[in-house]
Amino acid sequence: MSNKMVALMGEQPIPNLLPIRYDQPTEVLLVRTKRTEQTAARLARIIRPKAKVFFSDVDPYDISAIYQELTERIEVLGWLWAETVFNLTGGTKTMAFAAYQVAVDQASQFLYLESEHSQSRLRQYAFEHRLATLQRDTIIPAVITIDDYLRAYLDDYQFREVKEAFEQTLLDALKGKVDEIAAAVQGPTGSLDLDLVIRTGNQVGIVEAKTGRKAKRKEGIDQLNTAAGQKYLGTYTKKFLVVDASWEKLTNLRDLADARHVKVIELPDYGETKTLTVAEQQRLVQAIKAELGDA
């Protein structure tokens, strides 16, 4: 297995973090653009304890310049091409084209991470007579924590006090049912407020809990859409809106939630009794596992 890795930086750091954590290269070259400098810096902060990190600055759309920069930078680093693998998952398509051509010309290996169906599937290729052949096809087991995930996207975060009974009830119901859960997470300067953060395997989701009148408004959808946008936790983050009401007649809200890929979990019995029944607890757990996977 190669022990040097080239990672093309896009706005989403997780497709680079997962292969690095799984393969544990001794040295990593983060290929960044002006737009992804902060993302690269946050990723470097996470992986530095176990790997040396280097940076390469490129124009995201100049294929020939990217090709030359990668070739020269790797030679200056003294990496052997046979020990170098290119992760083509991130970056712009033109960055991937350039890196692929370097891999072809130097007979280096490359990999691609597929993050669909609640799995992290890694495919790695080698060249035989300039033809790419599949060498490895594997599902990456859990290699990250919620802390890793948050630090990959945020410069800082902290925990606030759990103030709402509904939030605490959901937290208690999900503990032990998922791999990891954190409550009341705030982003830098309070700009982001997450009721719950949940991890199963390498999949992470955020939960917004709404009760009473707020359970029948679009506020929760908007908050989740902002939190899981490119500015904060990125598009790989699953979004859950848990309400203590029925949305049976709220067709417009349901359509909006579907359009924004928000999973709505209705717990109307809690709205009546302020107690989570066994049936609703099962509904909650099953809905979240269906989205995140049952790792």
* Number of residues written out for the chain: 295
CA distance 243 to 211: 6
pLDDT the model gives residue 2: 63
pLDDT the model gives residue 256: 96
Question: Which residues of the chain fall below pLDDT 50?
Answer: 295
Residue with tokens 């705030």: 186
| Domain 4-139 falls under CATH 3.40.50.970 | no
| Backbone region of residue 293 per phi and psi (left: phi > 0; alpha: psi in -120 to 50; beta: other values) | left
Q: Considering the entire predicted model, what is its pTM?
A: 0.91
pLDDT the model gives residue 260: 95
pLDDT the model gives residue 295: 47
Among the listed residues 185, 132, 135, 138, the one whose alpha carbon sits nearest the alpha carbon of residue 18: 138
Indicate the domain borders of the chain. Answer: 4-139, 148-292
CA distance 206 to 40: 23
pLDDT the model gives residue 188: 81
Write phi, then psi, for 126 (nearest 5 degrees). Answer: -125, 160
- Within a 10 A sphere around the Cβ of 50, how many other Cβ atoms? 12
Buried b or exposed e, range 68-83, using 16+ CB within 10 angstroms: ebbbebbeeeebebeb
pLDDT the model gives residue 130: 85
| Domain 148-292 falls under CATH 3.40.718.10 | no
CA distance 224 to 245: 18
pLDDT the model gives residue 1: 52
Asked if 33 and 9 touch (Cβ cutoff 8 Å), the reply is yes
Among the listed residues 149, 136, 127, 117, the one whose alpha carbon sits nearest the alpha carbon of residue 15: 149
